[in-house]
């Protein structure tokens, strides 16, 4: 089995993942018995991709949890989730996750931070939720922050937030983060952060869309409709971008769809949504006689073919498919 050899050669991610789990089936007893698990685990995870980050911690339903994470790298997000999707069923000993999970007892969390030990009991946060925002801005403080450098403060803060909320929940709901050297005046114990985030999340449980207006680079009016909130973390396997651009016949004086064309576009949106398999319509933009639908899909699925099979009668559609793990095509709409 090729696992650690020929590292300079590109490897199909599906093959790399399959080889990891074949290795795991054989090496698991050695991993469990090893005092230095990194000696075994580090090269095995790096063989999938050197940018992945791994850790072994306490499980929720199992004794241990093996986490292989993209560490917020959008290029690796889908790879980590495909790794977890291919994992064996959890058992009494092991469970598997593509992101750090919240600690079952956050108040007991301790870990090294430079030359010091971080303990959650002394971690405090000042919180701000901008009106209408799905994000919580955080100013965090711990007494050891007075004695460590900027990088250590921020790394410690982000790891602590992962332990409080879970890595994916941090990506969903946390906005600006500051690691403060001086305790904020309005700080509260950080263990209350999950309750605040839950209150914010409660307001965004139902599907919502935001309507935006602007102008093109040529000064023409445009309108856009985007999911709100719109976050790639909610669709971790969807890193294929499919742009579907439809010309329309009837428009108003600003070049925006009107009359029968507007009705036809709305009907197409419904048909497109119904036709999608593992995919999502993230946004659509109308300007100068065309509307572009931005679809994100699992590239291992058949979404592109399903989209190409749809019918549009007001002109010839243009369909362009690219890989876009950062969701850069809809960057202006990300929340």
Tell whether the torsion through CA atoms of 7, 9, 12 and 13 is positive or negative.
Answer: positive
Both tokens of 2, joined, read 């090729």
Q: Which two tokens stand for residue 140?
A: 């965090």
Using CB atoms within 10 A of its CB, is residue 36 exposed (0-12), middle (13-18) or buried (19+)? exposed
- Which burial class, exposed, middle or buried, applies to 285 when counting CB atoms under 10 A from its CB (0-12, 13-18, 19+)? buried
Residue with tokens 């099979």: 309
Question: Cα separation of 55 and 91, whole Å?
Answer: 18
Instruction: Give me the pLDDT at residue 2, please.
Output: 43
Q: What is the CA radius of gyration of the chain?
A: 23
β-sheet bridge partners, residue 298: none
* Assigned fold of 209-333: Alpha-Beta Plaits (3.30.70)
Q: Which two tokens stand for residue 162?
A: 């992962």
Q: Where are the domains of the chain?
A: 13-97, 106-202, 209-333
**Span 269-282, pLDDT tens digits:** 999 999 998 999 99
At residue 11, the pLDDT reads 75
pLDDT given at position 8: 54
List of the chain residues with pLDDT < 70: 1-10
Q: Are strands 240-247 and 318-323 parallel, antiparallel or unpaired?
A: antiparallel
Q: CA-to-CA distance for 329 and 287, rounded, in angstroms?
A: 16
Which residue matches tokens 């023409």? 220
Query: Three-state SS across the chain?
Result: CCCCCCCCCCCCHHHHHHHHHHHHHHHHHHHHHCCCCHHHHHHHHHCCCCCCEEEEEECCCCCEEEEEECCCCHHHHHHHHHHHHCCCCCCCCEEEECCCCCCCCHHHCEEEECCEEEEHHHCEEEEECCCCCCCEEEEEECHHHHHCCHHHHHHHHHHHHHHHHCHHHHHHHEEEEEECCCCCCCCEEHHHHHHHHHHHHHCCCCCCEEEEEEECCCCCEEEEEEECCCCHHHCCCCCEEEEEEEECCCECCCCCECHHHHHHHHHHHHHHHHHCCCEEEEEEEEECCEEEEEEEECCCCCHHHHHHCCCCCCCCCEEEEEECCCCHHHHHHCC
Q: What distance in Å separates the CA atoms of residue 105 and residue 58, rounded to the nearest whole number?
A: 11
What's the pLDDT tens digit per position in 132-179? Answer: 999 999 999 999 999 999 999 999 999 999 999 999 999 999 999 999
- Which candidate, 238, 302, 235, 295, places its Cα nearest to that of 268? 295
Reference 3, options 52, 42, 48; nearest CA is 48
CA distance linking residue 159 with residue 173, whole number of Å:
15
Residue 331: both structure tokens together = 């960057």
């Amino acid at each position: 089995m090729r696992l650690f050899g020929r590292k300079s050669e590109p490897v199909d991610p599906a093959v790399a993942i399959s080889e990891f789990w074949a290795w795991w089936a054989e090496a698991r007893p050695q991993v469990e018995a090893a005092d230095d698990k990194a000696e075994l685990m580090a090269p095995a995870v790096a063989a999938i991709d050197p940018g992945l980050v791994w850790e072994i911690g306490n499980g929720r339903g199992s004794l241990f949890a093996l986490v292989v994470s993209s560490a917020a790298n959008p290029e690796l997000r889908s790879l980590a989730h495909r790794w977890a999707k291919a994992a064996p069923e959890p058992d009494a000993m092991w469970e598997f996750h593509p992101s750090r999970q919240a600690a079952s007892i956050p108040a007991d969390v301790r870990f090294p931070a430079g030359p010091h030990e971080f303990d959650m009991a002394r971690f405090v946060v000042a919180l701000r939720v901008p009106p209408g925002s799905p994000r919580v801005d955080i100013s965090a403080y711990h007494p050891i922050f007075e004695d460590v450098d900027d990088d250590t403060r921020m790394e410690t803060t982000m790891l602590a937030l992962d332990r409080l909320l879970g890595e994916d929940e941090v990506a969903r709901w946390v906005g600006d983060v500051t690691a403060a050297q001086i305790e904020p005046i309005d700080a509260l114990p950080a263990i209350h952060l999950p309750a605040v985030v839950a209150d914010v999340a409660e307001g965004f449980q139902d599907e919502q869309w935001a309507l935006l207006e602007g102008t093109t680079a040529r000064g023409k009016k445009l309108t856009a409709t985007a999911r709100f909130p719109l976050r790639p973390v909610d669709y971790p396997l969807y890193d294929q971008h499919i742009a579907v651009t439809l010309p329309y016949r009837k428009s108003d004086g600003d070049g925006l769809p009107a009359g029968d064309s507007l009705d036809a576009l709305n009907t197409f949106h419904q048909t497109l949504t119904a036709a999608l398999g593992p995919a999502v319509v993230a946004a659509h933009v109308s300007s100068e006689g065309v509307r572009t639908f931005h679809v994100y899909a699992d590239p291992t699925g058949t979404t592109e073919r399903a989209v190409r099979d749809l019918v549009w009668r007001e002109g010839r559609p243009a369909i362009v498919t690219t890989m876009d793990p950062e969701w850069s095509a809809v960057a202006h709409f990300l929340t």
